[in-house]
Amino acid sequence: MSKRPHQCPVAAFQKMIGGKYKLRIVWDLQEGPRRYGEIRVGLLRGAAGTAAIAPRVLSRELKALTESGLIARKDYGTVPPKVEYRLTPKGKSFVPVIAAIRRWGDRHLVAAS
């Protein structure tokens, strides 16, 4: 018998993707692998008035997404360092969910502003 308490799937999902940048990182990675700097620049795209993301915050978000299995990190072991992030199959299966959220936002949030 498992000692793990039953967890609400919505709460588990919210914990996994909670954070200011996680959804946007996964969305941007649908276009293919990205390096750290490309992800950082991508987060500024379309975010009027947003300051640059702090390196520590971006690193924390990428680490959490890696630990949750949504993205994979590949270190090429070169100097200078080259690291790429890409969606895992689990991450790719999440893209349609984000697309649905985006469509909802287009219908209900943009029209209201």
Q: What is the pLDDT of residues 9-56, one digit of tens each?
A: 888 888 888 888 999 999 999 999 999 999 998 887 756 555 678 889
In eight-state DSSP terms, residue 109 is T
d(CA 22, CA 88): 14
**Global pTM exceeds 0.85:** no
Rounded mean pLDDT, 86-104: 95
Q: How confident is the model at residue 1 (pLDDT cuts 50, 70, 90)?
A: very low
pLDDT digits (tens, 9 = 90+) for 68-80: 999 999 999 999 8
d(CA 23, CA 34): 15
Query: Which of 59, 74, 75, 67 is CA-nearest to residue 21?
Result: 59
Query: Which of 70, 100, 102, 75 is CA-nearest to residue 88?
Result: 70
Is domain 10-108 in CATH 1.10.10.10, yes or no?
A: yes
Q: Are 91 and 73 in contact (CB under 8 A)?
A: no
Q: What is the pLDDT of residue 112?
A: 52
